Amino acid sequence: MEILVIVLAGILIGASVYLMLSKSLLRIIIGTGVLSHGILLMLLTMGGLKRGGIPVLDDSVQSYTDPLPQAMLLTVIVITFALTAYMLVIAIRVYKELGTDNVEEMKGVPRDDD
Amino acid sequence: MSNLIILPILLPFIAGTILIFFAKSSRLQKIISTVSVLTLVVLSVYLAFLAFQDTIILEAGEWAAPYGIILVLDNLAALMLLITSILAASCLFFAFGTISKKREKFYFYPFYFFLLVGVNGAFLTGDLFNLFVFFEVMLLSSYVLIVNGGSKYQLRESFKYVVLNVFASALFVMGVAWLYSVTGTVNLAQLSERVAEIGQPGIVTVIAVMFFIVFGSKGALFPLYFWLPRSYFGPPAAIAALFGGLLTKVGIYAIIRSFTLIFYHEPLFTHKGLITVVAGLTMFFGVLGAVSQFDFKRILSYHIISQVGYMVMGLGIFTPLAVAGAIFYIVHHMFVKTALFLLAGATEKITGTTDIKAMGGLIKSHPALTWGFFIAAISLAGIPPLSGFFSKFPIILSGFQEGQWVIAAVALLVGLLTLFSMMKIFGYVFWGENKLTEKQSKTSVTKLLIPIAPLVAFSVVLGFAAEPIFAYSLHIAEQILEPSNYVDAVLKE
């Protein structure tokens, strides 16, 4: 089971690297989203995908799954969510101000003043 | 008593939260932020004094060490906190005079304090995942500060900065996941103990290199430094100075911490091999970038890269003397680099440009600024009576002692090129024919020089009082090179 999830995470991370190397701003942001999914899957798998009860205290359950990776995962999800929202807003501003979403055209030193 | 050490995190957090409510009143914001930043300075001096006597541990929620989150204040953390608070105070007072009303209104001060929360937390934490969270607190605030004002250049470069850091943070989480799967813990002290038990097999060395890549991209090491000069060019001088002084050094601190506490069992590959080679390349390419530029802020940004190389070189040589030199270098560099960035900001205020070819002859109209810059510049290059010399000397000396001839020679050459590019700035901007208009030469920057003066003075003091300060950094180096100190203090064995 772990092998399967690791391969899936690898495919996601590979796809995200491909997306992040593309020219469009939106594709780059989608790339970071896919990347975080791959990383989160890795984080979950690294705790071991042992079968056991959900980590909620219950007298009838003998063994639980590892609760620590799940707690870390929740934190990372929230942080990535905030970052994605911020990046989308920046992308809108960049598109409005520079009039392009092509990274190739974002070069040179413009001497604009604020 | 030990609850005191959460205050460097809590105090700026509360200050930032209060400041959000008064975002529209410029005066109130200035008063609140002045009071809290000065409290922070006093507090961190006291904490440095406490840490000198004994390492202080705070277990959050009274959960014993490996199970709960802990904060650890040893001498290294206390020293970093102390410098951070001094830099924060001086950049804040500089910001009062230079940040435009428009930028101020968009929550400049709250995010300034949230950045300090992240930086102080990263220095204090004793938990790997908690370190990640504090990195994100710091980075999120830096994303906002770096784009504050929203000029076209800032928007464009900050997007690249954000994407690169998001990628590096994702790798950080991956590193934490790997290390957790090998050792089953994220507590730094327990990690150190368990890695020592299994004797750092190949897989742990791979993870070590992964962390080196992550922290190296935050700290602008050799192949991962390209974002720094471009993104530090955009924001106003007060922010650029704070970033130049603090942000990369958090990455360096994390490298020093992880490679002295956890991954120290294969020094031939990680320290003497990888870190030293990367340090040499970082120094060399950073200073080459500085030599080729003709823009005040960009030259200084490239210098950050080459200076970071010296600190990592000290760690790479990995003797008490070299590590002490690296710590001294961090102290020296944080003061001097912030001072130089702020002086660049003052010069920009006078001339309205950062292109050094468009300036000239400031020495006649602004002598105090000129001599302040001169002292900071030759200190950066490492001229004897000043702090730059006493921080480079132990690093290069131990390079020769350990027979690392190439890296020591590179360090000497880089010192020469640093001097060259600083003198290039001095020659173009301050000497030469007067290119200032009548109005420009009447512009007074005395108010802006007041917050810079202590930083320049510290550089001189660090030079003339090098012996006690070097003894202190040697004490720190001996403490961190013996990881059992840290582990025993945390796990109470």
Q: How far apart are the first and last CA of chain B?
A: 21
Rounded to a whole number, what is the distance in Å from the CA of A40 to chain B's nearest CA? Answer: 8
Predicted local distance difference test score (pLDDT) of residue A1: 84
Average pLDDT in chain B = 91
Contact B289, B302 (CB under 8 A): yes
| Residue from B146, B113, B138, B112 nearest B236 by CA | B146
When divided into structural domains, chain A yields a total of 1
Q: How far apart are CA B311 and CA B257, in angstroms?
A: 13
> Residue B153: which H helix or E strand, with range?
helix B152-183
Predicted local distance difference test score (pLDDT) of residue B262: 92
Predicted local distance difference test score (pLDDT) of residue B436: 79
What tens digit of pLDDT does each residue of B310-355 get? 999 999 999 999 999 999 999 999 999 999 999 999 998 888 888 8
pTM over the 0.90 mark: yes
When CB atoms are compared, the residue of B153, B158, B176 closest to A90 is B158
Predicted local distance difference test score (pLDDT) of residue A111: 54
Rounded to a whole number, what is the distance in Å from the CA of B330 to chain A's nearest CA? Answer: 30
Nearest chain B residue (CA) to A39: B174
Paired with B108 in beta bridges are: none
- On the question of pLDDT at A114 being above 70, the answer is no
Predicted local distance difference test score (pLDDT) of residue A109: 62
When CB atoms are compared, the residue of A40, A83, A98 closest to B156 is A98
Q: Torsions phi, psi of B55, nearest 5?
A: -70, 135
Domain assignment present for residue A59? The answer is no
The average pLDDT across B266-293 equals 91
Q: Which domain holds residue A41?
A: 2-52+64-105
Chain B residues lying within 8 Å of A76, measured CB to CB: 173
Predicted local distance difference test score (pLDDT) of residue B23: 82
Cβ distance A43 to B149 less than 8 Å, yes or no, reads no
Cβ distance A112 to B152 less than 8 Å, yes or no, reads yes
| Residue from B224, B370, B247, B346 nearest B297 by CA | B346
Domain assignment present for residue A57? The answer is no
The CATH number for A44's domain is 1.10.287
Cβ distance A48 to B181 less than 8 Å, yes or no, reads yes
Cβ neighbours of residue B213 under 8 Å, at least 6 residues apart? B168, B171, B224
Could you write out the DSSP letters of every residue in B19-68?
HHHTTT-HHHHHHHHHHHHHHHHHHHHHHHHHHHHS-EEEEGGG--TTTS
Confidence tier at B493 by pLDDT (50, 70, 90):
low
Rounded to a whole number, what is the distance in Å from the CA of A27 to chain B's nearest CA? Answer: 12
What tens digit of pLDDT does each residue of B396-426 get? 999 999 988 999 999 999 999 999 999 999 9
Q: Which residues of A touch B (CB under 8 A)?
A: 20, 25, 28, 32, 35-36, 39-40, 42-43, 45-48, 68-69, 72, 75-76, 79, 82-83, 86-87, 90-91, 93-94, 97-98, 106, 109-110, 112-114
Interface mutation vs chain A, best among B98, B131, B148, B159, most A CBs within 10 Å: B159
Residue B225: other Cβ atoms inside 10 A: 25
Q: How far apart are CA B128 and CA B145, in angstroms?
A: 26
Which of B168-172, B183-187, B355-359, B399-403 bottoms out in mean pLDDT, i.e. has the lowest? B355-359
Q: How far apart are CA B171 and CA B166, in angstroms?
A: 9
Q: How far apart are the first and last CA of chain A?
A: 55
Predicted local distance difference test score (pLDDT) of residue B287: 93
Interstrand relation of B70-73 and B56-59 (parallel, antiparallel or unpaired): antiparallel
What tens digit of pLDDT does each residue of A29-71 get? 999 999 999 999 999 998 778 778 888 888 888 888 888 999 9
- ipTM value, please give it: 0.93
Domain assignment present for residue A43? The answer is yes
Greatest alpha-carbon pair distance for chain A in Å reads 69
Rounded to a whole number, what is the distance in Å from the CA of A52 to chain B's nearest CA? Answer: 18
Predicted local distance difference test score (pLDDT) of residue B357: 86
Question: What token pair was written down for A81?
Answer: 């969510």
Structure-model confidence comparison of residues B154 and B117, the more confident one: B117
Paired with B355 in beta bridges are: B295
Q: How far apart are CA A77 and CA B398, in angstroms?
A: 45
What tens digit of pLDDT does each residue of B1-48 get? 688 899 999 999 999 999 999 888 889 999 999 999 999 999 999 999
| Residue from A99, A17, A18, A7 nearest B166 by CA | A17
Cβ distance A75 to B133 less than 8 Å, yes or no, reads yes
Interface mutation vs chain A, best among B138, B144, B155, most A CBs within 10 Å: B155
Domain assignment present for residue A91? The answer is yes
Cβ distance B151 to A114 less than 8 Å, yes or no, reads yes
Chain A residues lying within 8 Å of B152, measured CB to CB: 97-98, 110, 112
